[in-house]
Amino acid sequence: MRIAILAVDGSLLSAIAGLSDLFWITNQALRAPPEGVAGGLPDRAGSLFETIIVSSDGKPLRDPQGRSISVDGAFRDIGRCDAALATGMALGPDRLPPASDSIVQAAEWLKAVHRQGTLVGAACAGTFVVGEAGLLDGRRCTTTWWLHHAFKRRFPKARPVWGTALEEQDGIVTTGGPLSWVDLALHIIRRLAGPDIAKLAADISVADSLPLPQMIYAPRGFINTTDPLLLRAEQIIRHAAPGLTAEGLAKALTLSGRTLHRRLKELTDESPKEFITRVRIETACVLLETPGASVKQVALSCGYGEESAFRRAFAQITGMTPADYRRWSSGRAAGAAASHRVVENSQG
């Protein structure tokens, strides 16, 4: 299976090399699986994946740090490929991915190969290249959380989903985060070679085969800062009694139910019910990071009369149970504190 990895102006060498390495590691693991994991895997003496690094003109590029990115060929020369992947890239002075001829040519090439049935994928700011191709118009997608607002402004016809780690629609895969090329590679392996080989690749790489949503890393309420309506709605939900409905939220905002639904779809691609749930769960994340509150107390504080309904909604949004989230956030805080102490001791 042939995987083309794009090299364009601003591309990060680490992301290109990392993608290539992960497919290579998968080949090595298939040739000689670790003891105890060979069952169910195909017998394979050769390579399952071939990766090629391609640029607009077939010439090597310099990454943002001045390091050379070796290239195997030009877009026009490589022929058929099973997947074409755009990686992360450095941002320009305007805090946006660069607009250059190589990116325009890459966008046109992605559009052409997608028409031929190639699976197209992008990680982090690489999603802007796919957006330039028009391939995200009307399609669900994601990008790095701190580029979400800029992405919506640049591609108003796309349907970016806030805070998700990975989205796929119509053979186009997008992931968010500078290191999300790992998630992208594992998903492409799963799509092209099946879940067993994807699990092997994840286990060998010591990576999560199902990435956590980005929203748990972003500041709470980050997406709601883009519009006064979202901020007002968020405040109403945070202070509302349990049982607030979409109709109740519309009334509190002095809007019709239809207008509220239309405005939220335009701003966040959420229904009023989905918006209410997200705000409540974001609030719950803050409360769970505070020692002492029980899950039941947090559920009641966030507008859930039934703890079971709260647990279901929390798992759907965050990918974890409330108890798992508390352990995860506590572990991150403890790790940060330990790192701080190490730095202090080394300086002392």
Distance CA 318, CA 12 (A): 29
The pTM score is 0.87
Yes or no: say if 174 and 130 are a contact pair by the CB < 8 Å rule: yes
pLDDT at 45: 56
Round to whole Å and give the CA distance between 296 and 275: 22
Q: What is the pLDDT of residue 341?
A: 47
| Dist CA 303 CA 297 (whole Å) | 10
Secondary structure element (H or E) that encloses residue 275, with its range:
helix 272-288
Sheet-wide strand order for 172-175: 73-74, 50-55, 2-6, 83-86, 119-123, 172-175, 166-169
- Predicted confidence at residue 46, as pLDDT, reads 63
Q: Report the relative pairing of strands 119-123 and 172-175 from DSSP bridges.
A: parallel
Please state, in angstroms and rounded to a whole number, the distance separating the CA atoms of residues 184 and 168: 10
* Rounded CA separation 288/325 (Å): 8
Given a contact cutoff of 8 angstroms between Cβ atoms, the answer to whether 59 and 96 are in contact is no
Number of residues that this document lists for the chain = 348
104 touches 132 (CB < 8 A): yes
Cα torsion 145, 149, 89, 124 to 10°: value is 30
| Residue pointed to by tokens 């806030």 | 162
Among residues 241, 179, 189, the alpha carbon closest in space to that of 211 is found at 179
Task: Please list the residues that pair with 172 across neighbouring strands.
Answer: 120, 169
For the chain, the first-to-last Cα distance in angstroms comes to 54
pLDDT for the residue 347: 54
Query: Tens of pLDDT along the chain (348 residues)?
Result: 999 999 999 999 999 999 999 999 999 998 888 877 656 666 655 679 999 999 999 999 999 999 999 999 999 998 899 999 999 999 888 888 877 899 999 999 999 999 999 999 999 999 999 999 999 999 999 999 999 999 999 999 999 999 999 999 999 999 999 899 999 999 999 999 999 999 999 999 988 877 889 999 999 889 999 899 999 999 999 888 777 899 999 999 999 999 999 999 999 999 999 999 999 999 999 999 988 889 999 999 999 989 999 999 999 999 999 999 999 999 887 655 554 444 455 555
Question: Which amino acid, residue 113?
Answer: V
Nearest to 149 by CA among 233, 277, 278, 267: 267
CA angle centred on 136, ends 135 and 138, rounded to 5°: 115
Residue with tokens 């979409």: 246
Gyration radius of the chain's alpha carbons: 22
